[in-house]
Amino acid sequence: MPLTNTLKVQRAKLGINQGELGQLTGVSRQTISSIERGEYNPSITLVLKLAKIFNTTVEEMFEYEEDKINE
């Protein structure tokens, strides 16, 4: 998957577990786990919801791997 994320870090900062984040975003704990492991690329709606919860930007949370190669 070319998409990496800092979701686990953001979640730790907020002090919530995957189940609680799942409840806040309306998805299952397993889906949060899959996103963190890079196995599932979330929709824009879910990404924006996550950004709102963590009070951060999408770019802070997700990075497209190709961006790293170009740097």
Residues that bind another protein in the complex, under the rule CB under 8 A: 17-19, 26-31, 33-35, 40, 42-43, 46
Q: Which is nearer to another protein, 1 or 68 (CB)?
A: 1
d(CA 13, CA 35): 17
Q: What is the DSSP letter of 64?
A: E
**The two structure tokens encoding residue 38:** 């890079």
Minimum Å distance from CB 71 to another protein? Answer: 30
Q: Which is nearer to another protein, 13 or 68 (CB)?
A: 13
Q: Which is nearer to another protein, 28 or 55 (CB)?
A: 28
Return the ∠ at Cα 18 (arms to 62 and 25), rounded to 5°.
Answer: 70
